[in-house]
Structure 1
Amino acid sequence: MRTYRLAAATALVAALTLTATACGGGSTGAGGASGGSPKTLTYWASNQGTSLDNDKQVLEPELRKFEQQTGIKVNLEVVPWSDLLNRILAATASGQGPDVLNIGNTWSASLQATGALLPFDDATFAKIGGRDRFLPATLASAGAAGKDPAAVPLYSMAYGLYYNKKLFQQAGIATAPATWEDLVADGKKLTTGSTYGLAVEGGNISENVHNVFALGRQHGTGFFDAAGKPAFDSPAAVAAVKQYVDFIATDRIAAPGDAEYAANQSVTDFATGKAAMLMWQSAGANLKSHGMNPDDYGVVPVPAPAGASGETAISSMVAGINLAVFKNTHNLGGALDFVKFMTGDDEQKQLNASYGSLPPVRAAQADPAFATPELKTLAGVLATSAAPLPQVPAESQFETLVGTAVKNLLASAAAGKPVGDDAVKAELTKAQQQMTAN
């Protein structure tokens, strides 16, 4: 059994306790890293559907199709987001993991640094159909710049601003907001009675960091400097985080209770008319599961500052799920066959249509099935105004620490405590100090 960079992996395990949304021990099924039949594979899938059972309903027919084509049986485990990263980290440290697994694309560089994942060099890409099949923006979130990707894109998503057409009409608002000034003004008009203008998910550290990352880019920071060192408490970072916290603290367009939301409750509030706007990644399938008709809402890019262009017009992180192979699999040929199958044009259309996401494969995304108003908007965001989260080894720690800092600040705002620049800077400085200590 091959040993990987245990010191790096162990440090990551100790440092990270991420509860993700977006993106233990590594029990190995037949064909996994500890050995097994070349006619079996173990696959850890992330929870993309409305439940773990829903994922099994979507995936198991496709896995049977793969078995019929290749003779390779795939043992499926759908892992909840709350467990996935720690399960993967434990597997990278022990060398005991699945053959193939889903990873949140924001974790790519962190997991790449452990050395446990198979690099996709040109020769490996050739075995799955070639690098050029994938959209460039999606490959930008598959590992550190200048290195072979640690995974390949599987499902693509982007953030959009969802708005309730009926509530906008009732408030006399003719168009969706394009700037933050418009969003706050509209949000105040829409906040009435038991309805708020905007739903946020303050207890969800991944949603927090995804949103403040886009705001940070608009303010001129990526939260890391050019040398890859953390710059969490820079003036631009403070301004970005404060803008997000102010939705509860000073603008009062989001409900104080939103500070505790951590499990898609903001989506539920939007779907049930308790909030008129929602910033979310590819929410259509989730909204449908809550009984909301696509005709009831519109989707536009998340706002940017008035007159913004280029870097300051970034409105979303490049969201999505990547597919990775454990380097020490005993069935490398079968694992790559499975990756080729899952990223094939037909399978990309089938899976992404089931999950309401966008295929990262060019030919599949061109299919008319992905030309709905929602998906056309999100595809435009991915193509023109999305940026990958920092592709640095410490990215996962960044998500945990900054996302938690935002969670703490939102909780203070919800409790009625003043949250000024100094309070924001203090919380972000603490996060940076924790990063440095780790």
Structure 2
Amino acid sequence: MRINRLAAATAFAATLALTVGACGGGSSSSGGGDNSSPKTLTYWASNQGTSLENDKQVLEPELRKFEQQTGIKVKLEVVPWSDLLNRILAATASGQGPDVLNIGNTWSASLQATGALLPFDDATFAKIGGKDRFLPATIASAGAAGKDPAAVPLYSMAYGLYYNKKAFAAAGIANPPATWDELVADGQKLTKDGKYGLAIEGGNVSENVHHAFALGQQHGTGWFDAAGRPAFDSPEAVGAVKQYVDFIAKDKIAAPGNAEYANNQSVTDFATGKAAMLMWQSAGANLTSHGMNPDDFAVAPIPVPAGATGTKATTSMVAGINLAVFRNTKNLDGALQFVKFMTGDDEQKQLNKTYGSIPPVKAAQADPAFATPELKALSDVLATSARPLPQVANESQFETLVGTAVKNLLAGAAAGKPVTDDTVKAELTKAQQQMPAN
């Protein structure tokens, strides 16, 4: 369920300039065959399960259920995250794409700027059951502020602090840390005998920028100014990134080797007892698949500064997957019927149970399956202390450039290079200089 955008997002700036003026005109689908029949839809689903084949096994019975209800056949293609954004950009440039598609929710404003996705105005929302069915935080991550959303939420996630209860008890720590000072102090108690207090995924650009964003909120920056211009090297941004890099550089509660982790190795380290804390999205299924007993871990909100309120008490970005309709669809009514089906209470319960995610539809969250201690904790985060990443047209480049800057700084810290405000600012200034103009 993790999203890796680096390769795709690096191509985004050049392609975006083409797609803004190239998305008009109708076409048949390039993703699954001719969709000119009102009885056929094409759907690009993102890889949410353990494999592409696993997703097909999950989704095909649901699509047959939709066909039985409506008579509309859905041609499914599950697209790997490594390919999805490039596939979508190619479709917007050519005007030929699927009828319905999954997108990472942080891409919403960037793809909205191409004009290729159907806006969900009040009338369109009414056709799928109404806007007020969804959690407000998830709608806020579906497009730029002041504009009709470019998609609707499908699966939601949030970050939490996973901690090893046995390790905490052995170290005499009674409760999970609520502030960063407490986390560092606890992490130092837990760092001994070749084990570390915290595992991070320093080679993973997406993970880096997600934490940089939340810490930036806590330090008082949204990474862009009111006019949508990047503010990557502000004192607040520098402080946020330095705090994260210092887990290796100064606090020494994360292993230097974590700077190279990019493929969920931090989850493995936590599951196997090599680290006592982990900041992750909806990790429970992943942890148990690595043999960790669910009774051995618990989840708390990620720490905040002492006394923090408002946006400075942000503990997570709003994570998740959105469902969009390609504007050029020749079967708009069928596409909206499909969106209504996929976001209906029953399907929301079924699909989010299967994938271990949180329903963005409020009524579906009442199902007891989402009342486990883990999902309840993450649902509370999503409802109270999560904020959407910047909903600006060049958000994808922000993720790539800032996430890479943090990766570079962590690699330097692991190699013993000094980490100062000046070195952090220099790396963030370089990232800002590479941002394209709005």
Residue type at the aligned position of 1:90: A
Deviation at 1:37, TM superposition (A): 2.6
TM-score (norm 2): 0.92
Aligned to 1:18: none
Cα offset, 1:410, TM superposition: 0.8
Equivalent residue runs for 1:287-306 within 5 Å? 287-306=287-306
Tell me by how many angstroms 1:38 deviates.
Answer: 2.3
1:29 aligns with 2:32: yes
Structure-1 residue corresponding to 2:46: 46
User: Once the 2 structures are TM-superposed, how far is the Cα of residue 436 of structure 1 from its aligned partner?
Assistant: 4.2
Superposed displacement of residue 194, structure 1 = 2.9
Which region of structure 1 is more displaced relative to structure 2, 88-97 or 335-344?
Answer: 88-97
5+ residue gaps, structure 2, are 1-10, 18-28
Residue of structure 2 equivalent to 1:122: 122
The secondary structure found in structure 2 opposite 1:406 is helix
Contact 1:50 1:289 in 2 (8 A): no
Equivalent-residue separation in structure 1 for 2:39 and 2:268 (angstroms): 42
Q: Distance in 1 between matches of 2:436 and 2:279?
A: 31
The secondary structure found in structure 2 opposite 1:435 is coil
Q: Distance in 2 between matches of 1:247 and 1:406?
A: 12
Rounded to whole Å, the distance in 1 between the matches of 2:327 and 2:379 is 32
> Are 2:87 and 1:93 equivalent residues in the alignment?
no
Give 1:437 deviation, angstroms.
6.2
Query: For the residues of structure 2 that align with 1:290 and 1:46, how far apart are their CA atoms?
Result: 23
What is residue 422 of structure 2 aligned with on the other side?
422
Give the aligned residue type for 2:313. A
| Residue 79 of structure 1: aligned partner | 79
Q: Aligned ranges for residues 11-410 of structure 1 at < 5 Å?
A: 11-13=13-15, 27-31=30-34, 35-410=35-410
C-alpha distance in 1, partners of 2:173/2:297?
14
**In 1, are the aligned partners of 2:13 and 2:397 still within 8 Å (CA)?**
no
The answer on whether the counterparts of 1:199 and 1:270 sit within 8 Å (CA) in structure 2 is yes
What letter matches 1:434 in structure 2? Answer: Q
Distance (Å, rounded) in 2 between the aligned partners of 1:316 and 1:365: 19
SS of residue paired to 1:328: coil
For 1:14 and 1:402, how far apart are their aligned partners in 2?
19
- For the 8 Å contact 2:197–2:254, the answer to whether it is kept is yes
Contact 2:13 2:394 in 1 (8 A): no
SS at match of 1:242: helix
Structure 1 distance, partners of 2:140, 2:160, is 20
Shift of 1:43: 1.2
**Alpha-carbon distance between aligned partners in 2 of 1:14 and 1:351, rounded to the nearest angstrom:** 32
- For the 8 Å contact 1:205–1:400, the answer to whether it is kept is yes
Check conservation: 2:99, 2:335, Cα contact below 8 A.
yes
Structure 1 position 423, deviation (Å): 0.9
Q: CA RMSD in A?
A: 1.6
Equivalenced residue count is: 417
Deviation above 6 Å: which 4+ runs of structure 1? none
Unaligned stretches of 5+ residues in structure 1: 1-8, 16-25
Q: Distance in 2 between matches of 1:14 and 1:349?
A: 35
- State the alpha-carbon separation in 1 of the partners of residues 184 and 332 from structure 2: 52
Structure 1 Cα separation of the partners of residues 224 and 318 of structure 2: 17
Secondary structure (helix, strand or coil) at the match of 2:83 reads helix
Change beyond 3 A, Cα 1:47–1:39 = same
Q: CA deviation at 1:53?
A: 2.2
- 1:193-222 CA-partner distances (Å, limit 9, x unpaired): 232111111111111101010000000001
Whole-angstrom CA distance in 1 between matches of 2:255 and 2:172? 22
Return the alpha-carbon distance in structure 2 between the equivalents of residues 251 and 290 of structure 1.
28
Amino acid at match of 1:315: T
Displacement of 1:244 in angstroms is 0.5
Partner of 1:434: 434
Contact kept? 1:30, 1:40, Cα under 8 Å: no
Tell me, in whole angstroms, the C-alpha distance in 1 between the residues paired with 2:30 and 2:263: 26
Paired residue secondary structure (2:193): coil
Q: 1:188 Cα shift?
A: 1.1
CA drift of 1:156 comes to 0.9
CA distance in 2, matches of 1:61, 1:197: 43
Q: Give the drift of 1:291.
A: 2.3
Residues 242-261 of structure 1, C-alpha deviations (whole Å, 9 max, x = no match): 00011111111111111111
Taking structure 1 as reference, are residues 10 and 216 closer, same or farther at Cα in structure 2, changes over 3 Å only? Answer: closer
Distance 1:262 1:80 in 2: 16
Give 1:354 deviation, angstroms: 0.7
- Partner AA of 2:363 in structure 1: A
Cα displacement string for residues 409-429 of structure 1 (whole angstroms, at most 9, x for unaligned residues) = 111111111121111100100
Distance in 1 of aligned mates of 2:269 and 2:83: 25
In structure 1, C-alpha distance between the alignment counterparts of 2:12 and 2:222, rounded to whole Å: 26
* Cα-to-partner distance string for 1:87-139 (whole Å, 9 max, x where unaligned): 21222112121111111111100100000000001111111111111111110
